[in-house]
Amino acid sequence: MDSELQIALIGAGIAAVVLIVGYNKWQERKHRRDAERAFRSEHRDVLLEPRAEGESAERKEPGIGAAEEQARRFSETPVKRTTPELPRLLDARADCVIRLEAIEALDVAKVWAIQSEQLAGLSKPVRWFGFNDADNVWLPLGPDSSGACHWFCAALQLVNRQGSIGETDFMRFTGGVQRVADAVMALPPGLPLRAETLYAATELDRFCADVDVQIGVNVVAREGQFEGRDIQRLAERHGLHLGGDGCFHAVSDDEHLFTLGNLESGLFAPESLKGLVTRGLTLVIDVPRVGRGGAAFDRLMQTAAELARELGGEVVDDNRAPFGAEAAAMIRSQIEQFQARMAEHGIPAGGSLAQRLFSL
């Protein structure tokens, strides 16, 4: 009896195993058929099917939707600002330049106020510029400037008639600009190299000293003295105008040509000309600051000769020797030689750069 029960249980276990295996096989085939139907396509695969003779492959361009998507991605790409070129009013040979960049636009008035405090006491002029992104141009900054900029530019002039900058000026300038950047949270500026900057300043100053020439011609009284009222009347008749520096100035087409001053001590002033007397006048041409030196000297000599005739004087040099045509021709030639050297050096006489370099 026990053996029959054992045989029956064994048979039932075998049948159950067969049923489980068979069910698993059925499920496996069912999933395979579903997968094949899912990947089956009603369209031809032109890459896999053989191409009929004479049939050409036509490239299908992206539709409007793809173009719009591409344009959208391009417009969303962040625009990187590039470093602006040097302002046109500056010159890399004559200016120590430092640019400042800020992620967010900085208030111009705030930057100006901070730099005025940090850069006070320098022996040479410092100029600031702000970059106008809309017009793509640098604009000079001053105490009344307003607006906001991402880019700023600070420039220390290297040379003027008092000489070149020294190490103290360089360190004060670069350190001051660095403190300005820190105060307004601008990006760390790229500072110029000290040795290279000071060497360039020294070389430029040496050249300027070689061509820094001022030529004077005197008109002295033969007898007695010249009266201030006569000097003013005749100077104005010849187109000269009294300036705030105590000299009369000859100007042509907005260009300064020469000055007429008192040979003796004392300056010309409107309130004192009536009672002023002097034994002589001096006419001076500042060679580096005049564009056409030869023509300006010709007018100076003509004015000197006419004033001598009208006032009863004579034209002489600094040694009180008569100033004749031969001496005038020699000096005119020297003026042209000096100005030719300036032009060869890329600093034309009378130009904006020369005006800055040959200033006090």
- 155 — phi, psi (to 5°)? -135, 125
Domains of the chain: 95-207 (3.30.1400), 212-357 (3.30.1400.10)
H-assigned helices in the chain: 2-39, 64-76, 108-118, 167-184, 194-211, 228-237, 293-311, 325-344, 352-357
Q: Which helix (H) or strand (E) holds 164?
A: strand 163-164
Number of neighbouring beta carbons within 10 Å of residue 262: 19
Number of neighbouring beta carbons within 10 Å of residue 286: 20
* Token pair recorded at residue 61: 């361009």
Query: What does pTM read for this prediction?
Result: 0.74
| Listed residue (167, 160, 222, 219) closest to 192, CA to CA | 167
Under a CB-based contact definition with an 8 Å cutoff, are residues 247 and 268 in contact? yes
| Listed residue (116, 287, 294, 285) closest to 217, CA to CA | 285
Strand-by-strand arrangement of the 148-157 sheet = 95-107, 148-157, 126-132, 137-140
- Alpha-carbon separation of residue 154 from 129, 163, 188, 307 (angstroms): 7, 20, 14, 47
Q: Give residue-wise pLDDT tens across range 250-279.
A: 999 889 999 999 999 989 999 999 999 999
Number of neighbouring beta carbons within 10 Å of residue 316: 17
Rg of the chain in Å (alpha carbons): 44
- 350 — phi, psi (to 5°)? 80, -10
- 295 — phi, psi (to 5°)? -65, -40
C-alpha–C-alpha distance, residues 269 and 263, integer Å:
15
Q: Give residue-wise pLDDT tens across range 112-149.
A: 999 999 999 999 999 999 999 999 999 999 999 999 99
Per-residue pLDDT tens digits of the chain, which is 360 residues long: 445 545 444 454 444 444 444 445 445 555 455 544 444 444 444 333 444 444 444 444 444 344 445 444 433 434 455 789 999 999 999 999 999 999 999 999 999 999 999 999 999 999 999 999 999 999 999 999 999 999 999 999 999 999 999 999 999 999 999 999 999 999 999 999 999 999 999 999 999 999 999 999 999 999 999 999 999 999 999 999 999 999 999 999 889 999 999 999 989 999 999 999 999 999 999 999 999 999 999 999 999 999 999 999 999 998 889 988 999 999 999 999 999 999 999 999 999 999 999 999
Q: Give the pLDDT confidence score for residue 318 in this predicted structure.
A: 86
Under a CB-based contact definition with an 8 Å cutoff, are residues 298 and 331 in contact? no
DSSP assignment of 73-128: HHHHSPPPPPPPPPPTT--TTTEEEEEEEEEEEEEHHHHHHHHHHHTTT-SS-EEE
